[in-house]
Chains A and B, each alone.
Chain A
Amino acid sequence: MRQNNLLLLLTSSASVAIATAPRGVSPEDARLYAGSAFTCLTHPSITIPTSQVNDDFCDCPDGSDEPGTSACAHLPHSALAIRGFHCRNEQHTPAFLPLSRVNDGVCDYEICCDGSDEYAHVGGVSCKNRCAEIGIAARKLQAERERLRGDGVKGWAELVKKAQIMRKEAEDEVKTTEVKIEGIEGKVKGLERELRDAEEKERRRVVRAPKEGEGGKVGVLVGTAKERSEELRAGLEKVREERDAALERLKKAEGILAALKEGYNPNFNDEGVKTAVRAWEEYLAQEETSTKLNDAEERDLDDLLGEDPVDWDEFLEVDEPQSDLYNIEAYLPESIKVWVHDKLHDFRQILVENGILAPAPDTPGIESKAVNAARAALKTAESEERNNRARLTALNDDLNTAYGHNDVFRPLKGECIDADVGEYKYEFCFHGKAHQKSLKDSSSTSLGSFARIEYTTPEDVGGQHGLFDAGWEEAHEEGLSGVVLKYDNGQQCWNGPKRSVNVELYCSAVNELRSVREEEKCVYRFEVGTPAVCGDRVEDAKGESMEERVRDEL
């Protein structure tokens, strides 16, 4: 980058183009090489005779005296003051070839279509000028790319329009839902009132006496409960024994697997063993606590199975009335409480003896039709409210989700594309999930879910792509936009992180998956074409996203 900037500086100040530039120098820079002596471009203290320019010996520490040979190719890139060997490439586009590729016996047509880099015919090589054909091919590619890009821009505009509509629709729905919720809230309040009334009425009602039977309803209930409780205790006992046996076996099996994991040789790559170990590790990660016996729970079980704390017989014998009135006692001071208790007891006794009050009061839960109906109506209304609130939350979440500049990814949500690469089908859904599906069997691995949009600068992209100009074919492949969709939290990798994907986007007329690479262990890189990145420069998109972020935080 540094030398590029320097060169830009130099070229922009060039006012007069000189007809005869030394080999490897662009016409714009020719003036720097005019005169009877040459001064190293960034080392003005070193001046050499012009005869030593391009004499295949490196004199300048910045390489500027040898633009047309490989003599300075050994210099560190940071020291070079020239971009390389300039190929004029008439009928095509001029380009700079790294100095190390000058006269190395290879026709570097992808950069130097005129073959001028091999003028020394090293090893007998002869590179004819192919700029005419390459120029045509390159222009064709260029036109094709521009056409695609044009379609992409149209696609982008449609997406933006659609996104606006969708946002509007969502916002409208938010409003209507809010109104709806308001209405339902009122309804719920009314129903709650109705229910309270019904219950009040019920409580006030005089209860009929039970028909007959030992101890009345409570007696029957207690008898049944005792039986049931004993059954449950026996059952629990049995289940606990079975559980202990199962745990014992599980422990053994886990022991076997642990030994397998400890003792196996991962280098042997036996798929069976590897799969087993992998599954075991995943099992360990997920099931960690479930197999452990919780002490507290265990104590609870002991209590349950130990001496029954409930003396059922007592319940059977004593018919302690359980009137709601009884609770009045709770509100009274201790002295009065005893008095009230006694009086009430006597009063109650009288009522029972006279057949006015049933010996056992009603058990809670046995309700009248009216109460049931009121409760059901309330439930329905509450559920309706919940549903609407959920919808509202979802709508708001969606509205707050980062769909990029202009919400351009909003219409793409849920849209999926895939490509077969090697033995897998890779599938990717916008703002959804990414998967790797085996073409050999039906197994599917989650590579992660959409997490966020990131924006990389062109410099970052350059840093990943090396120091030199790309060849013409490569240069005409649609470049990456710098917009990256991050997918993470995929399936845990054996001996690695959770799988994740960086979806690098480039402009394309249609959504497509161009390449898939596992960049490092379980970190995938998809190159995905989409019209969604055809309309913006990355800087704009990034700026917007910053705004969005600020807005979100507010």
Chain B
Amino acid sequence: MRQLNPLGSSSAGVLLVSFLSLVQISKAVKHGDFKTCAQSGFCKRNRALADQATAAGASRTSPYELDANTVALKDGVLTATILKNIGEENVELPLVFSFLDNGVARVTIDEAKRMTGQIELRHGSTAKKERYNEAAKWALVGGENFHKDAIIKTEDGVTSVAYGPAGYQVKITHKPFSVKFLKDGEAHVVLNERSFMNIEHWRPKPEDSDGNKGDDTWWEEAFGGNTDSKPRGPESVAMDITFPGYDHVYGIPEHASSLSLKETRGGEGNYNEPYRLYNADVFEYEIDSPMTLYGSIPFMQAQKKGSTVGVFWLNAAETWIDIVKQKTNVNALSPERATTQTHWMSESGLLDIFVLPGPNSSWLYKQYGDLTGFTALPAAFSIAYHQCRWNYVSQDDVKDVDRKFDKFDIPYDVIWLDIEYTDSKKYFTWDPLTFKDPETMLKTLDKRERKLVAIIDPHIKNDKNYAIGNELVNKGFGVMDKTGKKIYEGWCWPGSSHWIDCFNPAARAWWKSLFDFKKFVGSMPNTWIWNDMNEPSVFNGPETTMPKDNIHYDNWEHRDVHNLNGMTFHNATYEALKTRLGPGKERRPFVLTRSYFAGSQRTAAMWTGDNQADWSHLAQAFPMLLAQGIAGMPFAGADVGGFFGNPSKELLTRWYQAGAFYPFFRGHAHIDAKRREPYLAGEPYVSIIRDAIRLRYSLLPTWYTAFHRASWEGMPILRPHFVMFPDDEAGFAIDDQFYLGDTGILVKPIVSEGVTETSVYVPEENMVYYDYFDYTMYNGKGIRSVPAPLGSIPMLMRSGHIIPRKDRPRRSSGLMRYDPYTLVVALAPGGAGGVLYVDDGETYDNKDGAFIHRSFIYNPGDKTLRSGNLHPEPAKAAKYVKEMRDVRVERVILVGVTDEWKDKKTVEVKQGSKTWDAEVKFVEGKEGRASHVIVRNPRVAIVKDWTINFA
């Protein structure tokens, strides 16, 4: 694609070159580098089994049977044995079925022979004989509140268990084995309804050469010049999971696909390949594809009108998920509704399924968070704007960019260093020529409370002059090759490299020690870390990653743990950063990771990897970020501007407007791309970008409050339509507009070229939506046209909400700490409400109560706005409240007032025992805009209870 200009130096030549560079943006992923289902043995086998079962229809019998004599229920945990009939003998598959208080149930199936080690491995492999049973150890933090009063009953070959909240029941059919999860008698989730269940038991490889060796993919698989020795032969697990009456499913990131997942077995508008989860460094990934990407969260949410359920497939091996939808209702009287049927396949490990009952999204996310943990409340700076590029080439370059942001009055909090800052890609070092004095650079940044994020990857340079590399080898902390004895050597940025094995506790402890300020010389407390390439990316490995037969700590095969690998690495980095300042001085780390798994939300933020500077990638980002929120990892963003290629100024500007609504907001660019720091764009673009970034900063109080809610309840920060309006089926597939936290702010960023207006779906009949900027009113349900010239972002405020903001722009978010608030009250007939959460944004003092948590409620009855305290133990906040006592509310804006307010000049303010008047100004709304009043400097403190009486 890339071609040099043969025309020499003429300006025509230059034009041609730039034209070519535009054309080459439409380059595509190299499909040949990644497996299709047909190229992945177990996926092919399980799909074939599914096809056979489907073809056989009712005559197909699943070979799995629950041995009724083995069933026992104790303290909420049912144990039994499933027998797999393989002709002369049965394979014993122990089942553990756990029932939790909150209605969550877990089905875990293992293989007896492997549990007891009665198998033989080929090629003298030293790998472990058990099926991998430690995914839970990494992914879960809960799931042990067993419902001890669960009640069991068996009759007519069906075992029923009543558990959890009233009305929850599980029905296990013994032969063939299948499970129904019911709520008030109605099935919401069914396992093995279609008889796709498959547990490939261990078997010896047949000796004689002409005998039946089974499938050609059982014993060896070659791909891309690498042969997988498969010492345990075939061992996949698969299950079909049906959601009766549920026509939409979401989740299972990471895919560049729509939020509402598509069918995968062909047909108009559908995919032909299953959604794949196998963390990989997919170069120039394509959009609208079920291909795997950098991270995996095998959590799926199913939604139908009025109900939602979820499934969590706890398996860290390569996984594929087929989705089809059956139109179940041929009765013309009721609307047609689909049943979604899914088919989950993993290459190895346990069959381990959690069924989460919902029945609404907020409960579901809480249930999922109780299992895998909630997203960490981030350091406050990390939700502000980040400026990155591959690469800022020197400390002077960094200082220059830093200075330019100030000179152009554009706020930013964090500047980033990609791999080139190191001395020859040796992490924990600095290039001695370009970063001679990182400490002075970091101190310069710190003057404005700015931070540096430096990249540290898991590949460690294989270089005998690199002390850390030598330590890794000598201490045996690297991932081993398939012999289990020799450290694995592959190719990455530094050239020949080894990979740290963070499954090893000793390796993690060592890793932690490397971040000591004395060890990572030149790093400082305002240095944070970016973990890239942790899929792991191995340039010369199969599918750009590690061979599956590599051996990790405790002799687990890489095959078993692949999707966990990235998480173990960023967890280790997180632990190191948390305690750098010494005991009692823990700080909330900021770690960005590219690879992740269920549970990663506890320690890291993610971004969507190497996207491209074109409009389609801008549009693709929101469905991806929404899916991250569904799957419990909302601290997510996409590279603003697009990583590869050069965005037009319009695209860059629109991307900043969109990025201002990414939970993780970072501009980034490839090393071959032109410089594109916002101040370079020229007018009017610079001013528009400045406005977009300032908008983000002014809304930081609400962003932080939304993160806070995510951190203890799991509610996504960007809320898709179906989460907000679970009864409005018409909006279940919407993924290009969304709500910001609990603020009622509805945003539809522009993601296509040349747009001057856009259609926004306003979902409610009786609620007014006000334009965020000029208070234009949108009444009534339907698709509404909203103006969207380049300088504006379509943003509406749902009436009934109160939005806390900080309107004074500063150079960084840290410098806004003591600035006054503005409260915007979007009036609805029933009143309005909002929440604000504030803490110091960097320590863990909030865990000891050092935070401010306020409610703002406007009561239309007595026309009073009240600030109330939501802190459960206010005394514990005393010290922090004292620090914040001078922070006031400088302005209250009531939007949507009637003409009665016209003559109002003052309002009465009460705080504690004192009462005073504040001025108000009425602004009449014209041309379809709502009238509003502004309370001028009411002088109320953010930490105090107060009222403003408008009567």
Check A498 against B407 for contact (C-beta < 8 Å): no
Chain A residue numbers with a CB within 8 Å of B394 are 421-422
B222 at the interface (CB under 8 A from A): no
Q: A98-B409, A282-B4 are in contact. Are A105 and B817 (CB under 8 A)?
A: yes
Q: A70-B808, A106-B447 are in contact. Are A521 and B674 (CB under 8 A)?
A: yes
Check A497 against B17 for contact (C-beta < 8 Å): yes
Please tell me which one of the listed residues A59, A123, A281, A282 contacts residue B817 in the complex, with CB atoms under 8 A apart. A123
Check A71 against B408 for contact (C-beta < 8 Å): no
A16 at the interface (CB under 8 A from B): no
Check B14 against A56 for contact (C-beta < 8 Å): no
Chain B residue numbers with a CB within 8 Å of A100 are 409, 808-811
Chain B residue numbers with a CB within 8 Å of A497 are 5, 14, 17
A265's closest neighbor in chain B, by CB? B283
B69 at the interface (CB under 8 A from A): no
Q: Once the chains are docked, how many angstroms separate the CA of A73 from the CA of B6?
A: 52
A490-521: CB near B (< 8 Å → 1, else 0) gives 00101111100000000000000001011111
Please tell me which one of the listed residues B493, B674, B679 contacts residue A466 in the complex, with CB atoms under 8 A apart. B679
Chain B residue numbers with a CB within 8 Å of A267 are 283-284, 610
Q: Once the chains are docked, how many angstroms separate the CA of A420 from the CA of B436?
A: 13
Stretch at the interface among B116-124, B396-404, B521-529: B396-404
Check A57 against B409 for contact (C-beta < 8 Å): no
Interface size class on chain A is 35 or more
Check B409 against A489 for contact (C-beta < 8 Å): no
B761 at the interface (CB under 8 A from A): no
B419's closest neighbor in chain A, by CB? A269
Q: A77-B409, A270-B491, A467-B407 are in contact. Are A71 and B890 (CB under 8 A)?
A: yes
Q: A73-B808, A268-B539 are in contact. Are A489 and B815 (CB under 8 A)?
A: no
Check B890 against A57 for contact (C-beta < 8 Å): yes
Q: A100-B409, A106-B448 are in contact. Are A56 and B890 (CB under 8 A)?
A: yes
B845 at the interface (CB under 8 A from A): no
A101 at the interface (CB under 8 A from B): yes
Q: Once the chains are docked, how many angstroms separate the CA of A104 from the CA of B674?
A: 34
Chain B residue numbers with a CB within 8 Å of A56 are 820, 890, 937
B86 at the interface (CB under 8 A from A): no
A521's closest neighbor in chain B, by CB? B674
Q: How far is the CB of B623 from chain A (nearest CB, A)?
A: 24
Q: How far is the CB of B621 from chain A (nearest CB, A)?
A: 19
Q: How far is the CB of B572 from chain A (nearest CB, A)?
A: 25
Q: A282-B4, A465-B407 are in contact. Are A517 and B397 (CB under 8 A)?
A: yes
B927-939: CB near A (< 8 Å → 1, else 0) gives 0000000001100
Q: A105-B817, A106-B448, A423-B433 are in contact. Are A74 and B809 (CB under 8 A)?
A: yes
B647-677 at interface with A (beta carbon < 8 Å): 671-675
A62 at the interface (CB under 8 A from B): no
Check A270 against B674 for contact (C-beta < 8 Å): no
Check A422 against B433 for contact (C-beta < 8 Å): yes
Q: How far is the CB of A52 from chain B (nearest CB, A)?
A: 9
B814-843 at interface with A (beta carbon < 8 Å): 815-820
Q: Once the chains are docked, how many angstroms separate the CA of A270 from the CA of B815?
A: 42
A87-128: CB near B (< 8 Å → 1, else 0) gives 000000000001011001110000000000000001100000
Interface of B is mostly: loop
Q: Once the chains are docked, how many angstroms separate the CA of A207 from the CA of B3?
A: 66
Q: How far is the CB of A449 from chain B (nearest CB, A)?
A: 10
Check B818 against A105 for contact (C-beta < 8 Å): yes
- Max chain A Cβ within 10 angstroms of own Cβ: one of B17, B33, B407, B673: B407
Q: How far is the CB of A464 from chain B (nearest CB, A)?
A: 9
A309 at the interface (CB under 8 A from B): no
B400's closest neighbor in chain A, by CB? A517
Chain B residue numbers with a CB within 8 Å of A498 are 5, 9
Chain A residue numbers with a CB within 8 Å of B687 are 76-78
Q: Once the chains are docked, how many angstroms separate the CA of A73 from the CA of B819?
A: 12
Check B408 against A467 for contact (C-beta < 8 Å): yes
Q: A265-B539, A422-B393 are in contact. Are A73 and B809 (CB under 8 A)?
A: yes
Q: Once the chains are docked, how many angstroms separate the CA of A468 from the CA of B698?
A: 22
Q: A105-B818, A281-B3, A281-B4 are in contact. Are A489 and B808 (CB under 8 A)?
A: no
- Max chain A Cβ within 10 angstroms of own Cβ: one of B394, B396, B409, B808: B808
Q: A265-B30, A282-B4 are in contact. Are A488 and B9 (CB under 8 A)?
A: yes
Check B396 against A515 for contact (C-beta < 8 Å): yes
A285 at the interface (CB under 8 A from B): yes
Q: A76-B687, A265-B283, A423-B433 are in contact. Are A104 and B811 (CB under 8 A)?
A: yes
Please tell me which one of the listed residues B4, B671, B675, B815 contacts residue A285 in the complex, with CB atoms under 8 A apart. B4
B258-316 at interface with A (beta carbon < 8 Å): 283-284
B451 at the interface (CB under 8 A from A): no
Q: Once the chains are docked, how many angstroms separate the CA of A263 from the CA of B30?
A: 8
Chain A residue numbers with a CB within 8 Å of B21 are 495
Q: Once the chains are docked, how many angstroms separate the CA of A78 from the CA of B409?
A: 13
B524-554: CB near A (< 8 Å → 1, else 0) gives 0000000000000001000010000000000
A55 at the interface (CB under 8 A from B): yes
Chain A residue numbers with a CB within 8 Å of B691 are 76
Chain B residue numbers with a CB within 8 Å of A104 are 810-811, 815-816
Chain B residue numbers with a CB within 8 Å of A496 are 672
Chain B residue numbers with a CB within 8 Å of A71 are 808, 890
Please tell me which one of the listed residues B809, B815, B937 contacts residue A106 in the complex, with CB atoms under 8 A apart. B815
Q: A105-B815, A497-B14 are in contact. Are A422 and B675 (CB under 8 A)?
A: no
Chain A residue numbers with a CB within 8 Å of B673 are 521
B2 at the interface (CB under 8 A from A): yes
Q: Once the chains are docked, how many angstroms separate the CA of A398 from the CA of B820?
A: 66
B807 at the interface (CB under 8 A from A): yes
A288 at the interface (CB under 8 A from B): yes
Q: How far is the CB of A233 from chain B (nearest CB, A)?
A: 36
Q: How far is the CB of A212 from chain B (nearest CB, A)?
A: 62
Q: Once the chains are docked, how many angstroms separate the CA of A70 from the CA of B820?
A: 10
Check A422 against B434 for contact (C-beta < 8 Å): yes
Q: Once the chains are docked, how many angstroms separate the CA of A63 from the CA of B674?
A: 37
A105's closest neighbor in chain B, by CB? B815
A332 at the interface (CB under 8 A from B): no
A284 at the interface (CB under 8 A from B): yes
Check A284 against B409 for contact (C-beta < 8 Å): no
B406 at the interface (CB under 8 A from A): yes
Q: Once the chains are docked, how many angstroms separate the CA of A521 from the CA of B672?
A: 6
Q: Once the chains are docked, how many angstroms separate the CA of A439 from the CA of B447?
A: 34
Q: Once the chains are docked, how many angstroms separate the CA of A85 from the CA of B390?
A: 37
Check B539 against A284 for contact (C-beta < 8 Å): no
A459-488: CB near B (< 8 Å → 1, else 0) gives 000000111101000100000000000001
A106-B447, A422-B431, A467-B409 known, 16 other contacts, Cβ within 8 Å: A56-B820, A56-B937, A57-B937, A70-B808, A73-B809, A104-B815, A266-B672, A267-B610, A422-B394, A423-B433, A466-B407, A466-B679, A470-B407, A492-B5, A496-B672, A498-B9
Question: Can you pick out 9 interface pairs between chain A and chain B where the beta carbons lie within 8 Å of each other?
Answer: A57-B890, A76-B691, A100-B409, A104-B810, A282-B4, A420-B433, A422-B393, A470-B407, A498-B5
Top 5 A-B pairs, shortest CB-CB distance: A466-B407, A285-B4, A520-B674, A104-B815, A422-B434
Q: Residues of B at under 8 Å CB distance from A?
A: 2-6, 9, 14, 17, 21, 30, 33, 283-284, 393-394, 396-397, 400, 403-404, 406-409, 431, 433-434, 447-448, 491, 493, 495, 539, 544, 610, 671-675, 679, 687, 691, 694, 698, 807-811, 815-820, 890-891, 936-937
